[in-house]
Amino acid sequence: MYCLNPRCPKPANPQSHRFCQTCGARLLLGDRYRAYQPLGNGESSRTFLGLDTHQITDNRCIIKRFQNQTGEERFRQETARLDELSSHPQIPDLYAYFEREDAQFLVQEFVEGRSLFQEMTQDGSFDESQIRALLAEILPLLQFLHDHQIIHRDIKPTNLIRKGQPPSGGQQAELDVTSWALTDAPELTGWLQPSKIQNPKSKIQNSKSLVLVDFGAAKRLTQSALARPGTLMGSAEYAAPEQLMGQATYASDLYSLGVTCIQLLTGLSPFELFDGVRGLWHWRSVAGTVSDTLAQVLDKMLATSLGDRFSSAAAVMDVLGIRNQESGVGSPGTRVSLKPEPESHWRCVGTLEAGAGVNAIAPLPSRDLLFSGGNDGRLVVWDCDRGEALWMFEEPGVVVTTVAVSPLGDTLASGGFDRTIKLWDWQAGTRTRTLAGHTDVVTAIAFAPDSTLYSASRDKTIRQWLPHTGEAIATFSSHKAAVEAIALHPQQPILVSGGAEGAVKIWHTGTRELLRTLSGHGAQVSAIALPPESATAQSSTVLSGSWDMSLKLRNLHAGGLRYNLTGHLLPITALSCNPSARLLSTASHDTTVKIWNLETGALQATLTGHTAAVESVAFLSEKRLASAGRDGTIRLWQVS
Amino acid identity at 125 = S
Distance between CA 358 and CA 376 in Å, rounded?
Answer: 9
The reported pLDDT for the residue numbered 234 is 56
Please give the share of the chain, as a percent, with pLDDT higher than 90: 61
DSSP 3-state of 628: strand
> Picking from 27-31, 67-71, 105-109, 489-493, which range would have the lowest pLDDT averaged per residue?
67-71
Look up the CATH number of the domain holding residue 313: 1.10.510.10
Q: Which one of 269, 290, 320 terminates a domain? A: 320
Residue 244: in which H helix or E strand, if any?
A: helix 241-244
The reported pLDDT for the residue numbered 327 is 43
pLDDT tens digits, one per residue of 230-247: 444 558 899 999 999 888
**Strands, sheet with 614-621, edge to edge from the N-terminal-most edge strand:** 346-353, 633-639, 624-629, 614-621
Residue 350 lies in a domain: no
> Picking from 202-206, 223-227, 358-362, which range would have the lowest pLDDT averaged per residue?
223-227
Distance between CA 451 and CA 10 in Å, rounded?
Answer: 41
Residue 19 lies in a domain: no
Sign of the Cα torsion 147, 153, 155, 161 reads negative
Same domain, 237 and 283: yes
Residue 450 lies in a domain: yes
3-state secondary structure 534-592: CCCCCCCEEEEEECCCEEEEEECCCCCEEEEEECCCCCEEEEEECCCCCEEEEEECCCC
Residue 39: in which H helix or E strand, if any?
A: strand 33-41
DSSP 3-state of 158: helix
Nearest to 156 by CA among 14, 281, 260: 260
Same domain, 215 and 134: yes
Same domain, 309 and 415: no
pLDDT confidence band for 276 (50 / 70 / 90): confident
Residue 4 lies in a domain: no
> Picking from 49-53, 258-262, 276-280, which range would have the lowest pLDDT averaged per residue?
276-280
pLDDT confidence band for 324 (50 / 70 / 90): confident
Distance between CA 63 and CA 32 in Å, rounded?
Answer: 12
Amino acid identity at 276 = G
Amino acid identity at 18 = R
> In sequence order, what are the residues at sequence separation of 6 or more whose Cβ sits closer than 8 angstroms to the Cβ of residue 418?
398
> In sequence order, what are the residues at sequence separation of 6 or more whose Cβ sits closer than 8 angstroms to the Cβ of residue 254?
142, 301, 309, 310, 312, 313, 316
The reported pLDDT for the residue numbered 15 is 86
Which domain, by its residues, includes 478?
A: 358-569
DSSP 3-state of 456: strand
Distance between CA 90 and CA 209 in Å, rounded?
Answer: 8
Residue 468 lies in a domain: yes
> In sequence order, what are the residues at sequence separation of 6 or more whose Cβ sits closer than 8 angstroms to the Cβ of residue 522?
502, 546, 548, 550
The reported pLDDT for the residue numbered 84 is 74
Same domain, 315 and 364: no
Total domains present in the chain: 2
Length of the chain as a residue count: 640
The reported pLDDT for the residue numbered 462 is 98
Look up the CATH number of the domain holding residue 526: 2.130.10.10
Residue 592 lies in a domain: no
With a cut of 50, say whether residue 533 has pLDDT above it. yes
Residue 600 lies in a domain: no
Same domain, 410 and 305: no
- Pairing between strand 593-597 and 583-588? antiparallel
Q: CA-based Rg of the chain, rounded to a whole angstrom?
A: 28
Question: Is residue 64 marked as binding?
Answer: yes
> Picking from 129-138, 278-287, 530-539, which range would have the lowest pLDDT averaged per residue?
530-539
Nearest to 550 by CA among 586, 509, 581: 586
pLDDT tens digits, one per residue of 77-117: 777 777 778 878 899 888 888 888 778 888 988 888 899 99
The reported pLDDT for the residue numbered 199 is 41
Distance between CA 632 and CA 516 in Å, rounded?
Answer: 38
Please indicate whether residue 514 or residue 79 has the higher confidence score (pLDDT).
Answer: 514
Same domain, 304 and 416: no
pLDDT confidence band for 534 (50 / 70 / 90): low
For the ranges 284-288, 438-442, 529-533, the maximum mean pLDDT occurs at: 438-442
Residues 490-503 have a mean pLDDT of 94
| Burial class of residue 124, CB neighbours in 10 A (0-12, 13-18, 19+) | exposed
Q: Which one of 537, 569, 601 terminates a domain? A: 569
With a cut of 90, say whether residue 532 has pLDDT above it. no
Same domain, 423 and 276: no
Same domain, 379 and 307: no
Residue 15 lies in a domain: no
Same domain, 374 and 237: no
Strand ranges (E), 388-513: 388-394, 400-405, 412-416, 420-425, 430-436, 442-447, 453-457, 461-466, 471-477, 483-488, 494-499, 504-508
DSSP 375-413: TTSEEEEEETTTTEEEEEEE-TT--EEEEEE-TTS--EE
> How far lies 169's CA from each of 36, 115, 166, 175, in Å?
21, 15, 9, 16
DSSP symbol at 2: B
Q: Which one of 320, 350, 377 terminates a domain? A: 320
Sign of the Cα torsion 130, 136, 141, 146 reads positive
> How far lies 64's CA from each of 54, 157, 455, 588, 600, in Å?
19, 21, 34, 41, 33
Same domain, 303 and 416: no
With a cut of 80, say whether residue 408 has pLDDT above it. yes
Same domain, 253 and 363: no
Average pLDDT of every residue of the chain: 85
Same domain, 383 and 484: yes
The reported pLDDT for the residue numbered 200 is 40
